[in-house]
Amino acid sequence: MFPDLSYFLHKLIGTNPDNIFSIVKTFGLLLVLAILSAAVIMVKELKRKEAQGLLKPVEETTVIGEPASIMELIINSLIGFFLFFKIAYIIPNFAEFQLDPAALVFSSKGNWLAGILGAALFAGMKFQEKKKAQLDKPKVIKSLVYPHERMADITMVAAISGVLGAKLFAIIEGIGELTWETLVSQFLSGAGLAIYGGLLVGFLVVFLYLLRKKIQPIHVMDAFAPAFMVAYAVGRIGCQLSGDGDWGVAIDQMAWAQPTWLPDFLWGQTYPNNVADAGSKMVDCAWRYCRELDTPVFPTPIWEVVASLAIAGFLWAIRKKVTIAGMLFFIFLIFNGIERWFVEYIRINDTYDFMGGSYTQAQFIAAGLILSGIVGIIVLWLRDKNQRIAST
Protein backbone atom coordinates (compact mmCIF):
# COMPACT_ATOMS: atom_id res chain seq x y z
CA MET A 1 0.00 0.00 0.00
CA PHE A 2 0.94 3.65 -0.37
CA PRO A 3 -0.07 5.58 2.76
CA ASP A 4 1.67 8.64 1.35
CA LEU A 5 3.60 9.77 -1.70
CA SER A 6 6.98 8.67 -0.30
CA TYR A 7 5.88 5.01 -0.39
CA PHE A 8 4.74 5.35 -3.98
CA LEU A 9 8.09 6.87 -4.97
CA HIS A 10 9.86 4.04 -3.14
CA LYS A 11 7.95 1.56 -5.29
CA LEU A 12 8.55 3.59 -8.44
CA ILE A 13 12.18 4.69 -8.17
CA GLY A 14 13.50 3.09 -4.98
CA THR A 15 13.84 6.15 -2.71
CA ASN A 16 13.45 5.60 1.03
CA PRO A 17 9.93 6.08 2.45
CA ASP A 18 9.04 8.61 5.15
CA ASN A 19 10.98 11.42 3.48
CA ILE A 20 9.74 14.94 2.77
CA PHE A 21 7.15 13.59 0.31
CA SER A 22 5.38 11.85 3.19
CA ILE A 23 3.44 15.06 3.86
CA VAL A 24 1.41 14.30 0.72
CA LYS A 25 -1.05 11.69 1.94
CA THR A 26 -2.41 9.36 -0.72
CA PHE A 27 -6.04 9.57 0.34
CA GLY A 28 -5.91 13.36 0.60
CA LEU A 29 -4.36 13.62 -2.85
CA LEU A 30 -7.03 11.38 -4.37
CA LEU A 31 -9.74 13.31 -2.52
CA VAL A 32 -8.56 16.50 -4.22
CA LEU A 33 -8.52 14.72 -7.59
CA ALA A 34 -12.03 13.42 -6.91
CA ILE A 35 -13.33 16.95 -6.29
CA LEU A 36 -11.59 18.28 -9.41
CA SER A 37 -12.91 15.44 -11.58
CA ALA A 38 -16.46 16.15 -10.42
CA ALA A 39 -15.99 19.85 -11.16
CA VAL A 40 -14.74 19.17 -14.70
CA ILE A 41 -17.71 16.91 -15.50
CA MET A 42 -20.20 19.35 -14.00
CA VAL A 43 -18.83 22.29 -15.99
CA LYS A 44 -19.28 20.28 -19.18
CA GLU A 45 -22.86 19.38 -18.28
CA LEU A 46 -23.79 22.87 -17.10
CA LYS A 47 -22.55 24.33 -20.39
CA ARG A 48 -24.68 21.79 -22.28
CA LYS A 49 -27.76 22.76 -20.27
CA GLU A 50 -27.03 26.45 -20.80
CA ALA A 51 -26.86 25.85 -24.56
CA GLN A 52 -30.25 24.15 -24.35
CA GLY A 53 -31.68 27.17 -22.54
CA LEU A 54 -32.38 25.19 -19.37
CA LEU A 55 -30.04 27.31 -17.26
CA LYS A 56 -30.03 31.10 -17.63
CA PRO A 57 -27.37 33.68 -16.75
CA VAL A 58 -28.06 36.02 -13.84
CA GLU A 59 -27.25 39.71 -13.90
CA GLU A 60 -24.84 40.79 -11.20
CA THR A 61 -23.69 44.23 -10.12
CA THR A 62 -20.06 44.83 -9.28
CA VAL A 63 -18.67 48.02 -7.81
CA ILE A 64 -15.03 48.85 -8.63
CA GLY A 65 -12.88 51.62 -7.21
CA GLU A 66 -14.12 51.32 -3.61
CA PRO A 67 -11.73 51.27 -0.64
CA ALA A 68 -11.22 47.99 1.22
CA SER A 69 -14.26 47.06 3.28
CA ILE A 70 -14.08 45.98 6.91
CA MET A 71 -15.13 42.45 5.89
CA GLU A 72 -12.35 42.21 3.29
CA LEU A 73 -9.78 43.28 5.86
CA ILE A 74 -11.11 40.80 8.42
CA ILE A 75 -11.09 37.89 5.96
CA ASN A 76 -7.57 38.64 4.76
CA SER A 77 -6.28 39.07 8.30
CA LEU A 78 -7.77 35.69 9.27
CA ILE A 79 -6.12 34.04 6.26
CA GLY A 80 -2.78 35.66 7.10
CA PHE A 81 -3.08 34.70 10.75
CA PHE A 82 -3.81 31.05 9.97
CA LEU A 83 -0.99 30.68 7.42
CA PHE A 84 1.70 32.31 9.55
CA PHE A 85 0.36 30.73 12.76
CA LYS A 86 0.78 27.25 11.27
CA ILE A 87 3.85 27.69 9.04
CA ALA A 88 5.91 29.22 11.84
CA TYR A 89 5.15 26.14 13.95
CA ILE A 90 5.57 23.56 11.17
CA ILE A 91 9.08 24.69 10.11
CA PRO A 92 10.81 23.87 13.43
CA ASN A 93 8.51 20.88 14.06
CA PHE A 94 8.53 19.32 10.60
CA ALA A 95 8.95 15.77 11.93
CA GLU A 96 5.67 16.10 13.81
CA PHE A 97 4.02 17.54 10.70
CA GLN A 98 5.22 14.56 8.65
CA LEU A 99 3.48 12.06 10.91
CA ASP A 100 0.00 13.50 10.38
CA PRO A 101 -0.20 16.80 8.44
CA ALA A 102 -4.00 17.09 8.65
CA ALA A 103 -4.06 16.50 12.41
CA LEU A 104 -1.50 19.27 13.00
CA VAL A 105 -3.14 21.71 10.59
CA PHE A 106 -6.53 21.27 12.29
CA SER A 107 -5.08 21.30 15.79
CA SER A 108 -4.65 24.35 18.04
CA LYS A 109 -0.85 24.21 17.75
CA GLY A 110 0.86 27.22 16.21
CA ASN A 111 2.95 30.34 16.75
CA TRP A 112 0.78 33.20 18.03
CA LEU A 113 3.29 35.98 17.40
CA ALA A 114 3.77 34.86 13.79
CA GLY A 115 0.01 34.62 13.41
CA ILE A 116 -0.52 38.20 14.57
CA LEU A 117 2.22 39.43 12.21
CA GLY A 118 0.63 37.46 9.35
CA ALA A 119 -2.78 38.97 10.08
CA ALA A 120 -1.35 42.49 10.02
CA LEU A 121 0.62 41.80 6.83
CA PHE A 122 -2.30 40.36 4.87
CA ALA A 123 -4.72 43.07 6.02
CA GLY A 124 -2.16 45.74 5.06
CA MET A 125 -1.60 44.19 1.64
CA LYS A 126 -5.35 44.14 0.92
CA PHE A 127 -5.69 47.74 2.12
CA GLN A 128 -2.88 48.90 -0.20
CA GLU A 129 -4.21 46.86 -3.13
CA LYS A 130 -7.66 48.46 -2.88
CA LYS A 131 -6.20 51.91 -2.29
CA LYS A 132 -4.18 51.77 -5.53
CA ALA A 133 -7.33 50.90 -7.50
CA GLN A 134 -9.53 53.39 -5.64
CA LEU A 135 -11.47 55.90 -7.75
CA ASP A 136 -12.82 59.31 -6.80
CA LYS A 137 -16.22 58.02 -7.86
CA PRO A 138 -16.63 54.20 -7.77
CA LYS A 139 -18.05 52.62 -10.93
CA VAL A 140 -20.99 50.24 -11.05
CA ILE A 141 -20.61 47.46 -13.64
CA LYS A 142 -23.38 45.06 -14.58
CA SER A 143 -22.59 41.68 -16.13
CA LEU A 144 -24.25 38.35 -16.89
CA VAL A 145 -22.89 35.39 -14.96
CA TYR A 146 -23.62 31.86 -16.22
CA PRO A 147 -24.01 28.95 -13.78
CA HIS A 148 -20.86 27.17 -15.06
CA GLU A 149 -18.84 30.29 -14.22
CA ARG A 150 -19.72 29.74 -10.58
CA MET A 151 -18.27 26.24 -10.56
CA ALA A 152 -15.19 27.29 -8.57
CA ASP A 153 -17.41 28.72 -5.83
CA ILE A 154 -19.74 25.70 -5.93
CA THR A 155 -16.74 23.37 -5.66
CA MET A 156 -15.33 25.27 -2.70
CA VAL A 157 -18.68 25.37 -0.91
CA ALA A 158 -19.26 21.65 -1.58
CA ALA A 159 -15.72 20.68 -0.52
CA ILE A 160 -15.77 22.56 2.79
CA SER A 161 -19.31 21.61 3.79
CA GLY A 162 -18.79 18.06 2.52
CA VAL A 163 -15.66 17.47 4.60
CA LEU A 164 -17.35 18.95 7.68
CA GLY A 165 -20.39 16.74 7.10
CA ALA A 166 -18.25 13.65 6.54
CA LYS A 167 -16.34 14.38 9.74
CA LEU A 168 -19.56 14.95 11.72
CA PHE A 169 -21.17 11.70 10.57
CA ALA A 170 -17.98 9.73 11.25
CA ILE A 171 -18.01 11.04 14.82
CA ILE A 172 -21.71 10.28 15.24
CA GLU A 173 -21.10 6.71 14.08
CA GLY A 174 -18.75 6.13 17.02
CA ILE A 175 -20.32 8.57 19.47
CA GLY A 176 -20.90 5.94 22.13
CA GLU A 177 -17.16 5.36 22.53
CA LEU A 178 -16.17 9.03 22.78
CA THR A 179 -15.69 11.35 25.71
CA TRP A 180 -15.99 15.13 25.32
CA GLU A 181 -12.20 15.48 25.10
CA THR A 182 -11.80 12.78 22.46
CA LEU A 183 -14.84 14.16 20.60
CA VAL A 184 -13.12 17.53 20.14
CA SER A 185 -9.85 15.80 19.28
CA GLN A 186 -11.54 13.61 16.67
CA PHE A 187 -13.24 16.58 15.04
CA LEU A 188 -9.98 18.50 14.78
CA SER A 189 -7.98 15.51 13.55
CA GLY A 190 -7.41 14.62 9.92
CA ALA A 191 -8.81 11.10 10.31
CA GLY A 192 -12.30 9.69 10.00
CA LEU A 193 -14.63 10.63 7.16
CA ALA A 194 -18.11 9.26 6.36
CA ILE A 195 -18.91 9.72 2.67
CA TYR A 196 -22.67 9.96 3.11
CA GLY A 197 -22.30 12.64 5.77
CA GLY A 198 -20.35 14.65 3.24
CA LEU A 199 -22.95 13.99 0.55
CA LEU A 200 -25.93 15.05 2.65
CA VAL A 201 -24.43 18.14 4.28
CA GLY A 202 -22.68 19.21 1.07
CA PHE A 203 -25.89 18.81 -0.92
CA LEU A 204 -27.92 20.91 1.53
CA VAL A 205 -25.38 23.75 1.68
CA VAL A 206 -24.89 23.84 -2.11
CA PHE A 207 -28.67 23.74 -2.63
CA LEU A 208 -29.05 26.85 -0.47
CA TYR A 209 -26.15 28.51 -2.33
CA LEU A 210 -27.83 27.84 -5.70
CA LEU A 211 -31.10 29.35 -4.48
CA ARG A 212 -29.24 32.40 -3.24
CA LYS A 213 -27.59 32.82 -6.65
CA LYS A 214 -30.93 32.29 -8.47
CA ILE A 215 -29.79 29.09 -10.19
CA GLN A 216 -32.35 26.31 -10.71
CA PRO A 217 -31.09 23.51 -8.45
CA ILE A 218 -32.91 20.73 -10.29
CA HIS A 219 -30.76 21.04 -13.44
CA VAL A 220 -27.58 21.26 -11.38
CA MET A 221 -28.68 18.11 -9.54
CA ASP A 222 -28.87 16.25 -12.85
CA ALA A 223 -25.37 17.42 -13.75
CA PHE A 224 -24.16 16.35 -10.32
CA ALA A 225 -25.34 12.72 -10.67
CA PRO A 226 -22.66 11.28 -13.01
CA ALA A 227 -20.05 13.69 -11.64
CA PHE A 228 -20.49 12.38 -8.10
CA MET A 229 -20.18 8.74 -9.13
CA VAL A 230 -16.89 9.45 -10.90
CA ALA A 231 -15.65 11.39 -7.88
CA TYR A 232 -16.76 8.57 -5.59
CA ALA A 233 -14.77 6.08 -7.68
CA VAL A 234 -11.66 8.26 -7.52
CA GLY A 235 -12.08 8.61 -3.75
CA ARG A 236 -12.35 4.83 -3.37
CA ILE A 237 -9.12 4.45 -5.33
CA GLY A 238 -7.58 6.58 -2.59
CA CYS A 239 -9.06 4.27 0.06
CA GLN A 240 -7.59 1.22 -1.67
CA LEU A 241 -4.13 2.64 -2.36
CA SER A 242 -3.69 4.03 1.15
CA GLY A 243 -5.31 1.13 2.99
CA ASP A 244 -7.42 3.40 5.17
CA GLY A 245 -9.52 0.65 6.74
CA ASP A 246 -12.48 0.76 4.36
CA TRP A 247 -11.91 -2.85 3.39
CA GLY A 248 -14.30 -5.73 3.89
CA VAL A 249 -14.49 -8.54 6.39
CA ALA A 250 -12.03 -11.45 6.38
CA ILE A 251 -12.70 -13.77 3.44
CA ASP A 252 -12.86 -16.79 5.77
CA GLN A 253 -15.89 -15.26 7.54
CA MET A 254 -18.02 -15.79 4.43
CA ALA A 255 -18.81 -19.20 2.99
CA TRP A 256 -18.04 -18.04 -0.53
CA ALA A 257 -15.84 -19.72 -3.08
CA GLN A 258 -13.52 -17.55 -5.14
CA PRO A 259 -14.55 -17.55 -8.82
CA THR A 260 -11.86 -19.29 -10.86
CA TRP A 261 -11.70 -16.38 -13.32
CA LEU A 262 -11.17 -13.73 -10.61
CA PRO A 263 -7.55 -12.72 -9.82
CA ASP A 264 -6.46 -13.18 -6.21
CA PHE A 265 -5.93 -9.45 -5.63
CA LEU A 266 -9.59 -8.81 -6.43
CA TRP A 267 -10.75 -11.43 -3.93
CA GLY A 268 -8.57 -10.94 -0.86
CA GLN A 269 -5.79 -8.63 0.30
CA THR A 270 -3.79 -8.15 3.49
CA TYR A 271 -2.99 -4.44 2.92
CA PRO A 272 0.71 -4.25 3.86
CA ASN A 273 1.92 -0.81 5.01
CA ASN A 274 -1.68 0.33 5.43
CA VAL A 275 -2.22 3.87 6.67
CA ALA A 276 -4.73 2.61 9.27
CA ASP A 277 -1.88 0.84 11.10
CA ALA A 278 -4.05 -2.26 11.33
CA GLY A 279 -2.74 -5.81 11.72
CA SER A 280 0.57 -7.24 12.89
CA LYS A 281 4.06 -5.76 12.64
CA MET A 282 5.77 -6.70 9.38
CA VAL A 283 9.08 -8.52 9.67
CA ASP A 284 12.21 -6.46 8.97
CA CYS A 285 10.23 -3.25 8.44
CA ALA A 286 11.51 -0.09 10.11
CA TRP A 287 9.29 2.45 8.34
CA ARG A 288 6.47 4.56 9.73
CA TYR A 289 3.77 2.22 8.34
CA CYS A 290 4.79 -1.39 8.97
CA ARG A 291 1.60 -3.30 9.65
CA GLU A 292 -0.25 -5.89 7.62
CA LEU A 293 -3.53 -7.71 8.22
CA ASP A 294 -3.16 -11.27 9.50
CA THR A 295 -6.00 -12.58 7.33
CA PRO A 296 -6.94 -11.53 3.79
CA VAL A 297 -10.04 -9.34 3.60
CA PHE A 298 -12.34 -8.48 0.73
CA PRO A 299 -10.94 -5.43 -1.15
CA THR A 300 -14.31 -3.66 -1.19
CA PRO A 301 -12.85 -0.32 -2.35
CA ILE A 302 -11.88 -1.96 -5.66
CA TRP A 303 -15.35 -3.44 -6.02
CA GLU A 304 -16.88 -0.02 -5.35
CA VAL A 305 -14.62 1.62 -7.92
CA VAL A 306 -15.90 -0.80 -10.57
CA ALA A 307 -19.54 -0.39 -9.50
CA SER A 308 -19.29 3.39 -9.31
CA LEU A 309 -17.73 3.74 -12.75
CA ALA A 310 -20.42 1.43 -14.16
CA ILE A 311 -23.16 3.58 -12.63
CA ALA A 312 -21.43 6.76 -13.82
CA GLY A 313 -21.18 5.33 -17.34
CA PHE A 314 -24.86 4.39 -17.32
CA LEU A 315 -25.95 7.83 -16.11
CA TRP A 316 -23.73 9.52 -18.68
CA ALA A 317 -25.17 7.37 -21.45
CA ILE A 318 -28.80 8.18 -20.65
CA ARG A 319 -28.40 11.83 -19.62
CA LYS A 320 -29.52 13.18 -23.00
CA LYS A 321 -32.39 10.71 -23.28
CA VAL A 322 -33.90 11.56 -19.90
CA THR A 323 -35.80 14.76 -20.64
CA ILE A 324 -37.65 15.28 -17.36
CA ALA A 325 -35.62 17.64 -15.18
CA GLY A 326 -34.50 15.98 -11.96
CA MET A 327 -35.19 12.44 -13.15
CA LEU A 328 -31.50 11.62 -13.69
CA PHE A 329 -30.71 12.71 -10.14
CA PHE A 330 -33.32 10.43 -8.61
CA ILE A 331 -32.16 7.51 -10.77
CA PHE A 332 -28.68 8.20 -9.38
CA LEU A 333 -30.01 8.07 -5.82
CA ILE A 334 -31.49 4.61 -6.38
CA PHE A 335 -28.38 3.11 -7.98
CA ASN A 336 -26.02 4.70 -5.47
CA GLY A 337 -28.17 3.55 -2.57
CA ILE A 338 -28.38 -0.03 -3.87
CA GLU A 339 -24.61 -0.23 -4.39
CA ARG A 340 -23.85 0.99 -0.89
CA TRP A 341 -26.58 -1.11 0.75
CA PHE A 342 -25.13 -4.39 -0.48
CA VAL A 343 -21.43 -3.61 -0.04
CA GLU A 344 -22.09 -2.76 3.62
CA TYR A 345 -22.90 -6.42 4.32
CA ILE A 346 -19.24 -7.33 3.87
CA ARG A 347 -17.60 -4.16 5.19
CA ILE A 348 -16.32 -3.61 8.72
CA ASN A 349 -18.66 -1.08 10.33
CA ASP A 350 -20.63 -0.68 13.52
CA THR A 351 -24.19 -1.99 13.25
CA TYR A 352 -27.44 -0.95 14.90
CA ASP A 353 -30.36 -3.26 15.67
CA PHE A 354 -33.60 -2.33 13.94
CA MET A 355 -36.78 -4.39 13.45
CA GLY A 356 -35.02 -7.70 14.01
CA GLY A 357 -32.00 -6.92 11.82
CA SER A 358 -28.59 -5.29 12.18
CA TYR A 359 -27.69 -2.44 9.86
CA THR A 360 -24.89 0.08 9.50
CA GLN A 361 -25.30 3.84 9.49
CA ALA A 362 -24.57 3.84 5.76
CA GLN A 363 -27.34 1.30 5.14
CA PHE A 364 -29.93 3.48 6.85
CA ILE A 365 -28.86 6.39 4.67
CA ALA A 366 -28.74 4.15 1.58
CA ALA A 367 -32.31 3.02 2.27
CA GLY A 368 -33.32 6.67 2.53
CA LEU A 369 -31.64 7.41 -0.81
CA ILE A 370 -33.41 4.51 -2.52
CA LEU A 371 -36.79 5.52 -1.10
CA SER A 372 -36.20 9.18 -2.02
CA GLY A 373 -35.24 8.14 -5.54
CA ILE A 374 -38.36 6.06 -6.03
CA VAL A 375 -40.66 8.76 -4.65
CA GLY A 376 -38.89 11.44 -6.68
CA ILE A 377 -39.22 9.50 -9.94
CA ILE A 378 -42.93 8.87 -9.34
CA VAL A 379 -43.63 12.51 -8.46
CA LEU A 380 -41.73 13.86 -11.48
CA TRP A 381 -43.31 11.34 -13.85
CA LEU A 382 -46.84 12.12 -12.64
CA ARG A 383 -46.23 15.87 -12.82
CA ASP A 384 -44.87 15.58 -16.36
CA LYS A 385 -47.80 13.37 -17.38
CA ASN A 386 -50.34 15.85 -16.00
CA GLN A 387 -48.60 18.75 -17.76
CA ARG A 388 -48.71 16.91 -21.09
CA ILE A 389 -52.39 16.12 -20.62
CA ALA A 390 -53.16 19.73 -19.72
CA SER A 391 -51.34 20.99 -22.81
CA THR A 392 -53.36 18.84 -25.22
pLDDT of 313 reads 97
For residues 47-69, one letter each, b for 16 or more C-beta atoms within 10 angstroms of the residue's C-beta and e for the rest, the string is bebbeeeebeeeeeeeeeeeebe
Largest Cα–Cα distance of the chain, in whole Å?
A: 79
Determine contact, residues 326/380, Cβ cutoff 8 Å. Answer: yes
Q: Are 298 and 267 in contact (CB under 8 A)?
A: yes
Average pLDDT of span 337-344: 94
In a domain, 314, yes or no: yes
The Cα–Cα gap between 322 and 223 comes to: 12
Query: What's the pLDDT band for 174 if we cut at 50, 70, 90?
Result: low
Cα separation, 230 vs 313, in Å, equals 9
Q: Which residue has the higher pLDDT, 198 or 125?
A: 125
Distances (CA, A) of 230 to 190, 198, 227, 305: 23, 15, 5, 9
In a domain, 19, yes or no: yes
Domain annotation covers residue 27? yes
Q: In the predicted model, is pLDDT for residue 176 greater than 60?
A: no
Domain count, the chain: 1
pLDDT reported for residue 87: 95
Q: Residue 46 to residues 32, 55, 176, 225, 349: CA-CA distances in angstroms? A: 21, 8, 43, 12, 37
- Sign of the Cα torsion 165, 171, 175, 180 reads negative
Q: Is residue 130 part of a domain?
A: no
- Does the pLDDT value for residue 187 go beyond 50? no
Q: What is the pLDDT of residues 121-138, one digit of tens each?
A: 999 999 999 999 999 899
Res 185 pLDDT > 50: no
Q: In a 3-state reduction of DSSP, which class is residue 291? A: strand
**List of residues 6+ apart from 215 with CB closer than 8 A:** 55, 58, 147, 150
Q: Which domain holds residue 224?
A: 5-57+146-246+300-391
In a domain, residue 42? The reply is yes
State the Cα angle at 355 between 247 and 172, rounded to 5°: 50
For the residues 49-53, what does the mean pLDDT come to?
A: 94
* Model pLDDT, residue 202: 85
**DSSP-derived 3-state class of residue 138:** coil
**Residue 243 backbone zone (phi > 0: left; psi -120 to 50: alpha; other: beta):** left
Per-residue pLDDT at 117 exceeds 60: yes
pLDDT grade for 47, boundaries at 50, 70 and 90: very high
Query: Is residue 232 classed as helix, strand or coil in its secondary structure?
Result: helix
Domain-embedded: residue 306: yes
Q: How far apart are the C-alpha atoms of 43 and 252, rounded to whole Å? A: 45
In a domain, 119, yes or no: no
Q: Distance between CA 330 and CA 224 in Å, rounded? A: 11
Residue 201 pLDDT class (50, 70, 90 cuts) = confident
Question: 211 or 350: which carries more pLDDT confidence?
Answer: 211
